Structure 1
Amino acid sequence: MSITMYYGRAGSGKTRAVYERIRQVITECPGDPIILLVPEPATYRVERELAEFMPQGGFTTVRVVGFGRLAYQVYQSIGNVKAQQQSISQLGRTMLLSLVMKRKGAELGLLSQAAKRPEFSSVLQGLFSEFRSFRIGPDELESGAQRVSNGVLQKKLRELALCMSAYEEELQLHGQIDGDPIMDLVHALPQSPLMENCHVFVDGFHWFTPVHFELLYMLFDLAVESVITVDLLADPKRILANKGRHGIFNRSVEILENLHKEYGTKLSFQSFTGHRGTPVLQSLEENFFHGKHNTTAEHIPLVSAYNREREADWVARDILSYIESSPNARYRDICIMLRESETYGDTLEKVFTRYGIPHFGDRQRPMNNHPLGELMTDLLGVVKHSYSRDIMFRLLKTDLTPLTREAVDELENYVLEFGIDHLQWERDNWSYMRRVAELSDEEQPDALRNARVNASRQAIMDILIPWFDFATSSDAHTGAEWCKHIYRVLEELQVPQRLYEWSLEAERDGDLESKASHEQMYSAVIGFLDEMMVLTDTETLTLDEMIALLEEALDNVHYSMIPPSLDHVAITTIERAYSQSWPRVYVMGLNQGVFPQNMGDEGLIKDREREALAEAGIVLAEGALPKAFNENFLLYLAMTRAEQHLTISYAGSNDEGEGLESSLVIKRLQSLGFCTSPIEVPFTIQDGTEDEYLWRPYQSLSLLSERWGALFSGVSVSPLWWGLYNWARHDGAYRPRLEDVSRGIRDNNDVPVIAPELVTGLFLKRGYMSGSVTRLEKYRQCPFKFYAQYGLKLEPRKVRSFGAPEIGTFLHANLERLGTQLLSEHKQWRDLDETAQQELCARVAADILEENRYDEDEKTAYDKAIEERVVRTLQKTVSRLVDWSSRSSFDTMYLEQDFGRPNGWDSIKVSLGEDCYLRLVGQIDRIDEYNRDGHTYGMVIDYKSGSTSVNAQEIYYGLKLQLMTYLLALESAYQKHHDQPMTPAAVVYTYVKNPRTPAGEPVSYEEAKALADTNGALNNKGYFTDDIDMLEKMDKNLLTYKSKGPYVPVRITGKGTIHSGDMKIVKSSGDFDIMCRYTESIMADTGSAIGKGEFPIAPYQLNKAIPCSYCDYKTVCRFDNERNQYNYLSTLNEANALEKMRDALNGSSGQTEANADFGESSNTDSSMTGGDDNGR
C-alpha cells in the first residue's frame, strides 16, 4: 500500500500528473482496476479529458466516478443493486420526517412553532444529514445536551434527539437504516471485487466530512496504490500559515492533517510548482490573495455593465469575437463561472440563444411550476375550497384536462357572467339566463352556448365529482387511499399520454429542456405516489396535511439535463466546477453580496451553539461565519480556473432596475494593479460602436427596432443600419424577420375611411340609421370608440357584479314598477304615506331581486348586504319623489315612455340627404305635465344614479344630447296627439342614490337627515323655464328657501326676479327651441359623418375632461400622445354656447361650427343598427 499526496497551488499540474500516472498504471499493470474519484459534477468532463489524454483516445479499466456512482458500481459488483434501488429516496425521507413531526409535534416545546412550518421537514432533514456526516446520532445529542451549559441549547439538543430517534425508528419499520450512505459504502467496499489490485486516485476535492474521510481511509487501505491531490502552497514552511478559518487554504490544511494523523510516515508527498496561463494569471494566483501587487505589465479585463442583461450581452459578443478571431478556438474551451446559477442562469440562456451560441447550464431547474405540479396542487385545492372558481380555472388551464383552451375560455366567460362558484359546479345542468336584462344588453345567452358550456362542464365534473366525494367523505384518509384516488384522476385525465405527446412534440421541435421536464416530472410524481403508498399505508392524513406534504414534495423536485453536444459554452457555478479548468473563463456577477456571497441565516443551530458543541466534543460543519471566510477560497478557485484568459465583470443594476454595488474584490483588484478602469457597457448602443453588435442575422435585425426609435426621436441613423435593412429586405430568408422588427416604422393606429359598401352593411341595411342618442354622443366623444363598440361589436367580458351600473339598473326597474302601479290606480307619488312607501318599496324590491337572481336556491351574505343597501337607496329616493310631488302642481303622466318602438311614440327622424335619414329611438324615464289656461307645460325627468349634469357647451359640441332629444320626442308626440304645441317647463336629471354625507362631528339621525337634505348632493340638475309662476308650480316652497331648493335649484330675489347666479340654468321658450333645433342639426352632422365612414382616434378634451379615463377600448386604439391628438374643444360659457347655436342655425345649411371644431377627420360613428340601448 502506497499513499501519495500531490500538493501545489491551483494550476500547478497536479491533475495532469494524475492523468500521467494513470497512463503509466495502464501500461505497467494492464487489467488492474483504476478508480478516479472526482466531484460528481466533473465526472463527464474529466472522463472526456482523460480519454483524449490517452494515446489510444480512450480507456477500459478506469472508472471515473463521484461518490454516488462509486456506490452504485460497488453494489453492482457485489450483487446488491436491487436492494440499493429499493431504498427510500431523499424525497421519501423528507415526507417520512414530516409524518414524524406530525406525531411528535405535541411533545416539542422550543421547536414546536418551527415544526408547524411547511419547510421545516426539509430543514430538519438537512440537519440530520449533517449529523450523520459527522457520526452524530440521538445518543450523541443526548450526551451533548448534558455537557453544554446553555439551557436553550440543551433543550434544543434534546428535542432534536427525540425527533431523530423517532425518525430512525420509523425508517427501521420500513426496512431502512438511516445510516449515512457513505458509511454504508464503507462497509460494502471490502466485499467488492473492484478493490482487488485497485489503484485509487482522488482529485479535485478541497474538503471532506468525517464520513468522507472514513471512505478515503477504507479506499486507501484496500488499494495497492493511492494518490490524492490537494490545493496547498508548494512551500512546506508556508502551509501552516494557512491554518485557521481566516486562511485561504484552511480546508486543505485540514485534509493534510487528517491524512497525516491516520497514516503518519506511510503518507508520501510530491509538490508541484508549475504554472499555467499567462504571466498575469500566474501573478494573480501567487500574489493577489496575499495582498501583493501585480508583478507584470498585463492586466485582466474588467467589465462594468449597465445591468445583468447588458453584462451577458457583452460576454456573448466577446465569445463570438474570440471564436472568429482564433482558428482553433472551440466553444467547449469557454466557461461562464458564477457564484450561484439563479441570478444569471435565465439571462445567459436567453442572450446566448439570441446570439446562436451553443451553451449548457448544469443547474437543476425547479419543477413546481410544471403543469403537472399545478394540476396536483389544484386537485387538492378544489376540495379545500369547494370548487373555487379561481382554482378550477387554474386546473383547467394546465391543458391536462379533456377541454381545449377555446372551450375553457368559453366556460370561463360563462362562469364569470353568471357568477357561478363553489358547489354550483356540481349542478346537473346550467341554464342561466338573464331574466331582467341590463339596459345595454343586446342579446341573451342562447341555447347553443348553454349546450356547449354544459358539455364542457360535464367532461371535467365527471372526473372531479367522484374525487371530491371521496376527499370530503371523511375528515381524514389513509395515505394509500389518497394516492389511489389521485392516480385514478391522473389516469382518467390521460395525463401520462398527454405528457408523452408533449415530450415527443418537444423533441421534434428540438426543445430538449421541455422534453426532460415532462419526462422527469411524471417520474417524480409517480415516485412520490409510490413512496407515499408505502410510507403512509395506514397513516391517516387530513386534507391540510396532504396539501402540506405535496407542496413540500414539489418544492424539492427538480429536473436536470445532459449536455446536448460536446462543443458548447459551459455555464456553471464555482461550487460545481472548482475541480475543472478551461482555456477561457468569464467570472460574472462580482457584485456586493453576490460574489462573494452573503451567508444569510445561520440555520437551526447558530454559530455560537456550534462552537459550544465543539467544546463539548460534538463537531459539526462550519457555521455561517466560517463559510463567509471560505468565500475567499471559492473566489481563489474561480480566479484560477482559467488556463489562458480570464475576464471579470459586474453589473450596475438588477433586473428590476435597482442599483448594485461592485464587490470589494473589484476595488482590491484595481488597487493591486491587476485591473485598470473597467470597460463600460451602456444600456444603449453608442455611436461608432454599431459594428461590435452585429454578429448573427436574426440577432442583428432585432437591434433595428431600437434604431428606428432613435430615428423617430430626430437622431440620425448610421449607414450601417440602413445597409442591414436593405440587405434583409432583398433576402427572402430574413425579410419576414425584418418586417417584424420594422413594424415600429410602419405601425400606426390610423383608422382608414371605411368603404361605402361596408358602411352600408354595418349601419344602413334598411336604408336608414337607427339607434339611440347615446350612440351619437359616444361618436362625438370619440369616433373610434363608437366604431369599436357598435361597428366592430367589441365588448368587455361580462362579469357578474352589483356595482353602480347594476344598482342604477335595479333602481330604474323599481321606480318604473312603482310608478306604473301608482298610475294604474290613478295616483301620484304624493298620495303615498310613509307606511305605504316602506311596504311598497320592500315588496317591489324583493320581487325584482328574486327575478334578477341567477341562482334561486342560494342567497349569499353578499346578496343580503346588497339587497339591504339598494332597498335603503330606493326608500330614500321614493321619499324624495313623494316629497317633491307633494310640493308640485305637476302630475306624472308617462313612465318609461318609448319612442321609435312598438306601442310607443313615433321615432325622431333626422334627414341626412339623398333619401337617407337617422331614426332615433329611446325611452324617457318620466314625463310630468301641468295645464294652465288650456295650455300644457311639460317636464322631462331622467333618473340618474351617477353625478351627471348638462350645460350648453356640451350640447353645442354634441357631448350631451339626451335631454334635448327627449324634449324633441315629447314635443313631436304632443303636437301629433293634441294638435297643439307643448311648452317646455324643464328638462332635469333627478338622482336615485343615497350618498354619504360628511359631518365634522357626531350628529343625531335627525341632524344627519337635515345635513343630507341641505348639502345639495341630490339637487335636481338641468334646465328650467324662466317663467317664475311655472317654477312655483314645480315647487310651491320655492320662495321660502334661503338657498337653492332641492327640486328647482333656482333662487328668487326679494324683488321677485331670478337670481343672477342662476340665470345660466333658466331658459326661455325660445332658448329651448334653439337647443332642440340645434340638437337636430348636430345629430344630422354626426349621422352624415358616420355615413362617410370616418372613425378616427380623436377623443375630445374639454378643459381637463377626456373620455379615455374609463374607456374599455384603450388597448384597441393604443392612443399615443406622440402620434395621436385629442380633439381640443374650447371652453364656452352658457351665453356664448347658446349664441353659437343660434349662429349655426341661422348660418349655412352645411357643416356646423361645432362640427368644424370637432375636426375634419372626425369619424362619425354609425353603428346605429347594432341594437338599442334604451337611450340611457
Structure 2
Amino acid sequence: MTVTFHVGRSGSGKSEWMTKHVIEELKRDPSGPTIYMLVPDQMSFEMERKMAMTDGLNGSTRIQVLSMRRLAFLMMRDRGVSTEQFLDQTGTHLLLRRVVEMNEERLTLFRRTMNQFGFYEELNALITLLKRGLVDPEQLLRLSEQDQHRSLKLQDLSILYEGFLTMTEGKSLHAEDYFNVLLQLLPDIDLTGTRFYVDGFNEFSEQELAVLVALAEKAPLDVLLTIDPDSLYRPHPSFGPTQRTLMRFKELLSERGISSTDTPHMGAPRFQHPSLAYLEATFGQVTAAPYTRPDSHVVLHAAVDRSVEVEAAVREVVRLVREEGFRYRDIAFVSRSLEAYGDLATQALQKMNLPFFLDERQPMLDHPVVELLKATIEVALRGYREEPVFRALKTELILLDAEHRRTSVDRLEAFVIERGIKHYHWHDAWYLKRRAEEEARLTGEELDAETALNRYRQTVVDTFDPLLDDLKAAKTMQAYTHAIYAFLERVGVASCLAHWRDEALEEARLLEAREHTQVWDAVLHLLEQLEAAAPDETLSTELFLQMMDTGLDSLRYALVPPSLDQLTVTDYVRGRLLDKKSSSCSGRTKIKSRSSRPSRNY
C-alpha cells in the first residue's frame, strides 16, 4: 500500500480537502468499506459533529472518527480480546502506589516525595512517556551510569518502572499497551477496501508510528501534516518537530518496503483577509516586513493585568454577538495557559451569563462525594477529630436534621469548639451545662437543644462506626472496597446525587448535572479498580486508605460540551478548533509563547 503525506502550512486547505474527499466518497457509496479518520482525542467530537452536519450527507454508518487509542480498543473488542483488565489513569495511580510501597526501601530520591500531592500523577506521566518511546528499565539503568547528575533519579525510576511492568505482566493493560496488542492483532485483521486518514497531529510517538506503519501495510493511508512545502527537507524553526516526525515516519516505511508520496498544499485559502494570511506567513519571523494596509483583522490590546485582559475579551464577545450576528459557537477564547486564565475566564463569563465550555479536565476534589470520602478516610485513620468530621458533615450528604440542614451542622460545630470536644468524647452523652446543679435547672428550650445535640452526635456515630468496624474486620482488598460501598449505600449518596442532578437539569445547569453523574460513576469505577488490582491480597487498613486517597486525587471530569451554541475556552496546547470566526488570544507577551504544561502536540 501507499502512504500519501499531505503537507502544507496552516490554512492551506489540507483538512478541508480531506473532509470534502471523504464526503464525496460517502455520497458515492454510503455502504462501502469503513473509512477511518484518526484525530487527537480533543478533536474527535468537533470533527464528528462537522461530518454529521454536512448538507446532503444525512448521516452514515461507514465513517468512523476516532482517536488512535479508541481505534485500538474497537479492533481489540471486535477480535474478542478482553479489555476488562485495562488500567485507566485511576487504576494506574493505585497500582503505582502499591509498587512504591513494595520498593520503598530501595528508593533514594523518590522516598522523600512519595507522599506529596501529585507525585503519582507525575510518575504515571513518566511511565507513559517511557512506554510511548519503547524504553525498557535496562536502558534507564545504562543511562544512569552515563549521567551522574541524574543518576539517582534514573535508578529510582528504573526500579519503579520494572516493578510496574512485573506487576502488570499477564494481568492488566496500561493505556499505552493497547497499541502493543493491536500490533499483534493487525496481521490477522482484514482491512480490504478500508482507508485511513490521519489529521491534527504534529508529532507521533514510536508506538503510534509503529501502528501507522502496520496499518499502511494493510490499507491506503493519508497523513496530513503542517509543514511548509517549500522547506520540507531543510530545517525550519517553526516546523522542526513535525519535520523530524516526517523523516522518522519515512524511514520506518522504507524499512518495510512501503512507498510514500508527498502532496503539497499551497496558499492559504482559509485566511480570506490578507492580514490573517500575512500573520500566518510571517509568524516567528523577526525580520518580516511590517503589514502596511489600513484594514486589519488582527487587533492588539494591552492590559494592566490578566483580569482586565479577560474582561475586555468578554466585552468583545458580547459586542460580536449583539452587533455583528455571531453565534457563541463561532468564538474561541484561547489562552497561553488555562492554569493562569481558566478561573478568570470562568468568572467573567459567568458574570455576564454567557454560555461557555472550559476545555480542561477538572479534578473532582471539590465535589461533595469526593470530599466526603477523603474526610471519611481521615476519620478512619485519626478518629473523630473535629476537622474531618465537619468536613464530612458540610457536604450535606450526611443529614443531621432534614429541615435544618446547615443550621444543625453549625450548632453542632459551635458546641464542639466551645467545649473542646475530643475524638474520644463522641461516644459519651453530652450535657449543655458544665456543672450538675446547672444541668438540673435547664429550661424546656435548653433541654430541647441538649436533646438535639445528642441526636446529632448519635447520627454521626451511627454513620461512621459501622464503617470503622468493617474496615477493622477486613483483611483483603475486596473486603475493604465492599465496606466503602456499604457506607455509601447507608448514607444514601446515589439518591442524593440523583436529586441534585434532576435539580440542575430543571434549572438548565447541564454541566453541573453531568458532573453529578460522572462523580458517582467515577467512585464506583475507583472501587472496581482497587478490587481488580489485588482482590485477595492481604493488606493493612492504613495502606488501603492511602491507596483510596491516591485514587480520589486522580479522579477527573471527562466532559463533552453539553450544548452546541457556546463559547470555547481552551489553550494553545490542547485546543483543536474547527470553523471558528473569531478568536481571542490571551497571554501573548512574547513572539514565542510556551506553555507551562509539556505536550507532544505543542
Q: State the one-letter code of the partner of 1:209.
A: S
- Does 2:250 align with 1:215? no
1:280 corresponds, among 268, 272, 275, to 275
Please name the residue that 2:499 is paired with. Answer: 501
CA contact 1:312–1:351 (8 Å) conserved in 2: yes
- Does 2:119 align with 1:120? yes
Cα deviation for residue 349 of structure 1 reads 2.9
Aligned length: 587
**Greater RCO, CA 8 A, separation 6+:** 2
- Does 2:216 align with 1:226? no
Matches within 5 A, 1:904-915: none
Measure the CA separation in 1 of the matches of 2:153 and 2:408: 56
Alpha carbons of structure 1 residues 577 and 419: separation in structure 2 relative to 1, 3 Å: closer
2:339 corresponds, among 328, 337, 342, to 342
1:569 corresponds, among 553, 567, 570, to 567
1:586-614 residue CA offsets vs partner (Å, 9 max, x unmatched)? 11122479943357xxxxxxxxxxxxxxx
Please name the residue that 2:194 is paired with. Answer: 198
Alpha carbons of structure 1 residues 378 and 154: separation in structure 2 relative to 1, 3 Å: closer
Q: Secondary structure at the match of 2:229?
A: coil
Alpha carbons of structure 1 residues 343 and 90: separation in structure 2 relative to 1, 3 Å: same
Please name the residue that 1:257 is paired with. Answer: 247
CA contact 1:334–1:582 (8 Å) conserved in 2: yes
Measure the CA separation in 2 of the matches of 1:594 and 1:455: 63
Normalising by structure 2, what TM-score? 0.89
1:319-378 residue CA offsets vs partner (Å, 9 max, x unmatched)? 232233335x32222111123323222332332233343322221121111111111111
Q: State the one-letter code of the partner of 1:280.
A: S
Measure the CA separation in 1 of the matches of 2:292 and 2:61: 45
Measure the CA separation in 1 of the matches of 2:499 and 2:206: 47
1:266 corresponds, among 259, 262, 267, to 259
Please name the residue that 2:62 is paired with. Answer: 61
Cα deviation for residue 11 of structure 1 reads 0.3
Please name the residue that 1:584 is paired with. Answer: 582
State the structure with more CA Rg: 1
Cα deviation for residue 176 of structure 1 reads 4.6
Q: State the one-letter code of the partner of 2:461.
A: M
Report the more deviating stretch, 15-24 or 200-209.
15-24
Alpha carbons of structure 1 residues 273 and 310: separation in structure 2 relative to 1, 3 Å: same
What's the C-alpha RMSD, in Å, of the aligned pairs? 3.0
- Does 2:234 align with 1:240? yes
Please name the residue that 1:183 is paired with. Answer: 180
Cα deviation for residue 406 of structure 1 reads 2.6
Stretches of structure 1 that go unaligned for 5 or more consecutive residues are 600-623, 635-1176
Stretches of structure 2 that go unaligned for 5 or more consecutive residues are none
Cα deviation for residue 10 of structure 1 reads 0.3
Measure the CA separation in 2 of the matches of 1:53 and 1:468: 58
Measure the CA separation in 1 of the matches of 2:27 and 2:449: 80
Measure the CA separation in 1 of the matches of 2:267 and 2:52: 23
Matches within 5 A, 1:491-890: 491-578=489-576, 580-591=578-589, 595-598=593-596
Measure the CA separation in 1 of the matches of 2:189 and 2:391: 52
Q: State the one-letter code of the partner of 1:360.
A: F
Larger strand share, 1 or 2: 1
Please name the residue that 1:421 is paired with. Answer: 422
Matches within 5 A, 1:62-461: 62-80=63-81, 83-117=82-116, 119-145=118-144, 148-151=145-148, 153-154=150-151, 156-172=153-169, 174-176=171-173, 180-193=177-190, 195-223=191-219, 225-236=220-231, 239-242=233-236, 247-264=237-254, 266-275=259-268, 276-277=270-271, 278-291=273-286, 292-297=288-293, 298-299=295-296, 300-327=298-325, 329-403=326-400, 404-427=405-428, 429-435=429-435, 446-461=446-461
Measure the CA separation in 1 of the matches of 2:12 and 2:100: 50
CA contact 1:467–1:485 (8 Å) conserved in 2: yes
Q: State the one-letter code of the partner of 1:254.
A: R
CA contact 1:590–1:596 (8 Å) conserved in 2: no
Alpha carbons of structure 1 residues 578 and 408: separation in structure 2 relative to 1, 3 Å: closer
CA contact 2:93–2:554 (8 Å) conserved in 1: no
Measure the CA separation in 1 of the matches of 2:465 and 2:188: 56
1:458-481 residue CA offsets vs partner (Å, 9 max, x unmatched)? 12212222333455x58x943333
Q: State the one-letter code of the partner of 2:119.
A: F
1:1112-1138 residue CA offsets vs partner (Å, 9 max, x unmatched)? xxxxxxxxxxxxxxxxxxxxxxxxxxx
Q: State the one-letter code of the partner of 1:240.
A: R
Measure the CA separation in 1 of the matches of 2:117 and 2:544: 11
Report the more deviating stretch, 248-257 or 65-74.
65-74
CA contact 1:95–1:553 (8 Å) conserved in 2: yes
Measure the CA separation in 2 of the matches of 1:153 and 1:413: 53
Measure the CA separation in 2 of the matches of 1:15 and 1:64: 13
Alpha carbons of structure 1 residues 510 and 598: separation in structure 2 relative to 1, 3 Å: closer
CA contact 1:78–1:191 (8 Å) conserved in 2: no
Please name the residue that 1:1094 is paired with. Answer: none
Q: State the one-letter code of the partner of 2:228.
A: L
Measure the CA separation in 2 of the matches of 1:202 and 1:552: 36
Cα deviation for residue 26 of structure 1 reads 3.2
Alpha carbons of structure 1 residues 258 and 593: separation in structure 2 relative to 1, 3 Å: closer
CA contact 1:206–1:231 (8 Å) conserved in 2: yes
Q: Secondary structure at the match of 1:235?
A: helix
Q: Secondary structure at the match of 1:399?
A: coil
Alpha carbons of structure 1 residues 117 and 415: separation in structure 2 relative to 1, 3 Å: closer
Alpha carbons of structure 1 residues 254 and 315: separation in structure 2 relative to 1, 3 Å: same
CA contact 1:378–1:391 (8 Å) conserved in 2: yes
Cα deviation for residue 52 of structure 1 reads 4.0
Measure the CA separation in 1 of the matches of 2:138 and 2:492: 50
Measure the CA separation in 2 of the matches of 1:446 and 1:579: 64
Q: Secondary structure at the match of 2:60?
A: coil
1:1065-1104 residue CA offsets vs partner (Å, 9 max, x unmatched)? xxxxxxxxxxxxxxxxxxxxxxxxxxxxxxxxxxxxxxxx
Q: Secondary structure at the match of 1:336?
A: strand
CA contact 1:133–1:180 (8 Å) conserved in 2: no
Sequence identity percentage: 25
Alpha carbons of structure 1 residues 563 and 125: separation in structure 2 relative to 1, 3 Å: closer
Measure the CA separation in 1 of the matches of 2:548 and 2:584: 39
1:967-991 residue CA offsets vs partner (Å, 9 max, x unmatched)? xxxxxxxxxxxxxxxxxxxxxxxxx
Q: Secondary structure at the match of 2:332?
A: strand
Alpha carbons of structure 1 residues 202 and 381: separation in structure 2 relative to 1, 3 Å: same
Cα deviation for residue 538 of structure 1 reads 4.1
